[in-house]
Every structure is written in C-alpha cells, then in structure tokens.
Amino acid sequence: MATKNLSEYNIDSVPDASNMTFGIVVSEWNHEITGALLEGCRNTLEKHGALPENIHVKTVPGSFELIYGARQMTLNDGYDAVIILGCVIRGETPHFDYICQGVTQGIARLNATNNIPVVFGLLTTNDLQQAKDRAGGRLGNKGDECAVVAIKMAKF
C-alpha cells in the first residue's frame, strides 16, 4: 500500500517545463483509471509550464502494448521524456503477473538502451478500489507523480 499521497511533492524542486516536449502513451484498457491518470499527468505538466501543444498523447489497446508505444516515441528525437500510463488489476489467472513483469522489463530495457527517459506509470493493483485510490482518490494521482518525474528526468 502506498505510504504517501502520490500528488504531494515539493513544487520548488520541479524545473520549469516550458521548453520541454513530452510523449504520453496511455492504455485504453481500464479507461476509467487510465483516463484519470492522463488527466492528472497533463494538468501537472501544464502546471509546471509545459505547453499543451508540446504534450503528445497516443493510445494503445492494453498495458503490454505500452512497451511498443513508448519505443516508437523514443525514436522521435523531439521528446524530452516519454510517460507510460496503464493499469493492471489482479484477476483469477496468472495473466496479471505476466503482463506486469513484461511491461516492467520492457520499460526498464528502454531506459537502459535509449537517451530519452521513459517514466513508469503502470498501476498494478489487487482490485479496482486500489486503482481508484491511486488515480485521483485518497492516495492522490500517479499521473501527477509521473509528470513530476518526467520533468526532473528530462532535466537530468
């Protein structure tokens, strides 16, 4: 369980993003959750100066496809950082484990082999309520956190 509000951070520690361009890849699966993550992410990028026209969003069908989407965005030299947003909720089969592990390894590989940071915004929860809690609910919004991480890593 998260120990802090994902939307709380020291605003003074975030660089100005007015000259930065961001790619966001968001999963269509669990749209109620991923849509809220996207809204939080966009709002936070803009709050720190990113221009709306410099925030490019692409959708993919599910969380596993986030790897391909992020890879395609890293091939575009115009992005300072790429953010992936998705949500996998545990079910009755091992599918959850395979998807979570695959996406984690895929995004880690992109970070190790590319010059553009790829920010990991995949919620991996046991149930829908845990996902809601982390997508604008009582624990804040992981999208906010991902935006802050993207700005900081773009400036790294």
CA 14 to chain centre: 17
Three state DSSP letters for 70-91: HHHHHCCCCCCEEEEEEEEECC
Residue whose structure tokens are 């699966």: 29
Q: Could you confirm whether 48 is annotated as catalytic?
A: no
Which of 31, 48, 56, 95 is catalytic? The answer is 95
Query: CB–CB of 91/82 below 8 Å?
Result: no
CA 123 to chain centre: 9
Q: Which long-range contacts (CB under 8 A, 24 or more apart) does 76-79 make?
A: 76/23, 78/21, 79/21, 79/22, 79/23, 79/116
Q: Which residues are identified as catalytic?
A: 95
